[in-house]
Amino acid sequence: MEASDRRRWWALIAIAASVLVVGLDLTVLNLALPTLSRDLHAPTGDLQWFSDAYSLVIAAAVLPAGLLGDRLGRKKVLLVALVMFGASSALCAYATSTGELIAARALLGLGAAAIMPLSLSILPVLFTADERPKAIAIMASATFVSFPVGPLLGGWLLDNFWWGSVFLINVPVVVLALIAVAILMPESRSVHRPRLDFGGVAISALGLTALTYGFITAGEKGWTDTGSLATILAGAVLLAAFVAWERRVSRQPGSRPLVDLSLFSSAGFTWGTILSTLVSFSLFGILFAMPLYFQDVRGLDALGSGLRLLPLIGGMIVGMIGGSRLQNPRKGPDGQPLPPAVNTKVLVAVGYVVMAAGLAAGTFTHSSSGTGFTAAWFAIAGLGLGIAMPAAMNVAIGALSAERSGAGTALITAMRQVGATIGVAVLGTVINDAYRSRLHLSGLPAATANAVRASVGEGVQAAHAAGSSALLSSVRDAYVHGMSIMLWVGTGVALASALLALSFLPRRAGGVGQPPLPEADVIGPIGGPQKAELGR
């Protein structure tokens, strides 16, 4: 292998380190939710906001972040984002109230808004379509590695130190990622240096923020709340206005819109993005609900909770490796390329069916279920996730050129983040409504009853304070009931996604077997099939 070729793959590993930082933050936050609920006296609504404030800022900032990468240089913007992410992690660690933590999480989202799309944007620049499944698998593995590392390290920290320590573990990882990206990642940007579409930035940020905020408040106040529904409607209207604005900008000579709407003429881009978003929907539900189940229902410590998440990760890794191999093009006896062993739409559909089977099995979880049972359905659900997510992402990324990779991957990220936020809101509402409907609170003092209704963590604390085993059993059984209903919803989403994949997804990711993109799409030589500027 040539030195320049090796450097492309080492550069990918450096970029994957950036993704690892974001994944660590996600896993340690979910593991810390029960502790935050107790130490900061945070009700379920605030617990959702710890996650949603992060997602809200990403939704607003991810599109301009991708365009800035195309214009100023993807490496430069990624380095700035990593510094911001590290500083915000320290602010999260030393927050003294729910308000401070929510604000710090919002700043953290600003850094992640650039890290997430720009880490993907390098893939169409450096790698041919035939190499992309392997590159995407490496990127996905960075996220998957963060899942076991986050719970294990975070669980140990939560058991031995204060909750802020789980955010401080981001800082040394950020430092390593900064060094690796600075040395190894090639600089690349759009040849045409696009002007910022300020009108598009403003309208899209307002629209995405309103839509996301509306779903969050609807999850807290109920789906009949007038203010929430009005905010969702306003967000939808603004996004419709954004589409009209982008069409107008695209018709002006020399102008470049924030979003290339022609991407949606590609079935691969449209449905690959939608289906990868639906994967996130189900994954966020599991990661939100299960740490609370292990710690508040089963009474385990944070490290024990983290260990019990490992079968999910193991299943993901097996699915990712197997799915990646099935996507790789083969060579015939004459050396000519052959199509992959399994076409993409079947692979994604199979992944969703396997995931649905795992989630459906999880609905039979009860308060005293053994670790073996939860490990089994976790592993099955993880296997399906690992098969479906990289395959769907490869289809979406395959529709992008190197010239627009920053803005294109930002659009993919924006849709996934909005979908994940809606998922947290919807699934959080499902759990809350079902949890509260099963509680037996008659005869309790008003303060105790309100605490029990607030969250399962508050309910367990109130039951222990009252010395009531009957109340403790009621709280735990009510939460398990809500979790089961949520898993049934996830099962339905997974089965619907399998049908969508079979109906609309292309048989193959775009560009497989095609020649690399023209050298003019990016700057300077790297020696690889797509050329990029090194060391600037």
The number of beta carbons lying within 10 Å of the beta carbon of residue 336 is 9
pLDDT score at 333: 63
Q: Does the residue 466 lie in any domain? A: yes
Contact in structure between 397 and 124 (CB atoms under 8 Å): yes
pLDDT value for 331: 60
User: Is residue 486 included in any domain, yes or no?
Assistant: yes
Amino acid identity of residue 536, one-letter, is R
State how far the Cα of 521 lies from the Cα of 189, in Å rounded to an integer.
9
Instruction: Indicate whether 58 and 134 sit together in one domain.
Output: yes
Domain end among 255, 282, 304: 255
Indicate the residue among 221, 255, 289 that finishes a domain: 255
Residue 84 sits in the same domain as residue 8: yes
Domain limit, last residue, from 211, 234, 255: 255
Q: Would you write out the chain's pLDDT as a tens digit for each of its 536 residues?
A: 454 567 777 778 777 877 777 777 766 776 777 778 777 777 766 777 787 777 778 777 877 887 787 777 888 888 999 999 999 999 988 888 888 888 898 899 889 888 877 777 777 767 776 777 777 777 777 776 776 677 677 778 877 888 888 888 888 888 888 887 788 777 777 666 656 678 888 898 888 888 878 877 776 677 788 988 999 999 999 999 998 998 888 777 666 677 777 778 888 888 888 888 887 777 767 777 888 888 889 988 777 877 888 898 889 888 888 887 776 665 656 565 556 667 788 899 999 999 999 999 999 999 888 889 999 999 999 999 888 888 888 888 777 765 566 667 777 777 777 777 677 777 877 888 888 888 888 888 888 888 888 788 888 888 888 888 888 899 899 999 999 999 999 999 999 999 999 999 887 655 433 333 333 344 433 333 333 433 33
pLDDT of 508? 64
Tell me whether residue 520 is in a domain. no
pLDDT at 17: 76
Residue 99 and residue 35 in one domain: yes
Residues 66 and 26 in one domain: yes
Compute the Cα dihedral for 81, 87, 90, 94 and give only its sign: negative
Q: Report the pLDDT value the prediction gives residue 527, as an integer from 0 to 100.
A: 35
Q: 175 and 205 share a domain?
A: no
Question: Which value, to the nearest 10 degrees, does the dihedral of the CA atoms of residues 535, 397, 236, 349 take?
Answer: -150
Cβ-proximal residues to 446 (8 Å cutoff; 6+ apart), any chain = none
**Sign of the alpha-carbon torsion through 353, 408, 76, 7:** positive
Q: Is residue 456 part of a domain?
A: yes
249 in helix, strand or coil? helix
If asked whether residues 109 and 226 sit together in one domain, one would say no
Confidence at residue 526, expressed as pLDDT on a 0 to 100 scale: 38
Sign of the CA dihedral running 245, 248, 254, 256: positive
Whether residues 141 and 290 share a domain: the answer is yes
Query: From the CA atom positions of the chain, what is the Rg in Å?
Result: 23
Candidates 438, 152, 165, 168; CA nearest to 304 is 152
* Number of residues written out for the chain: 536
What pLDDT does residue 517 have? 37
Beta bridge partners of 331: 337
Q: What is d(CA 65, CA 421) in angstroms, rounded to the nearest whole number?
A: 19
**37/50 Cα distance (integer angstroms):** 11
Backbone phi, then psi, for 124, in 5-degree steps? -70, -20
Q: Tokens 């459906």 appear where?
A: 360
Question: CA-to-CA distance for 428 and 47, rounded, in angstroms?
Answer: 10
Answer yes or no: is 526 within a domain. no
What distance in Å separates the CA atoms of residue 118 and residue 362, rounded to the nearest whole number? 35
Residue 470 identity: A
Under DSSP, the state recorded for 342 is S
Neighbour-count burial of 469, counting CB atoms closer than 10 A to its CB (0-12 exposed, 13-18 middle, 19+ buried): exposed
Handedness of CA 193, 411, 502, 279 (dihedral sign): positive
210 and 359 assigned to the same domain: no
What pLDDT is stored for residue 478 in this prediction? 92
pLDDT, position 5? 63
**472 domain residue, yes or no:** yes
Both 244 and 319 in one domain: the answer is: no
Query: Does some domain include residue 521?
Result: no
Q: How far is CA 201 from the centre of its chain?
A: 22
Backbone angles phi, psi at 321, to 5 degrees: -65, -45
Task: Provide the b/e sequence for 157-171 (b: ≥16 CB within 10 Å).
Answer: bbeeeebbbbbbbbe
Backbone angles phi, psi at 215, to 5 degrees: -70, -35
Tokens of 80: 């700035």
In a domain, 528, yes or no: no
Does 202 lie in the same domain as 192? Answer: no
Q: How many domains does the chain have?
A: 2
pTM for this entry: 0.75
CATH number for the domain including 494?
1.20.1250.20
Predicted local confidence at residue 535, as pLDDT: 34
- Model pLDDT, residue 510: 54
CB 148 within 8 A of CB 51: no
Which residues constitute the domain of residue 227? 198-255
Residues 242 and 149 placed together within one structural domain of the fold: no
Whether residue 332 sits in one domain with residue 479? yes
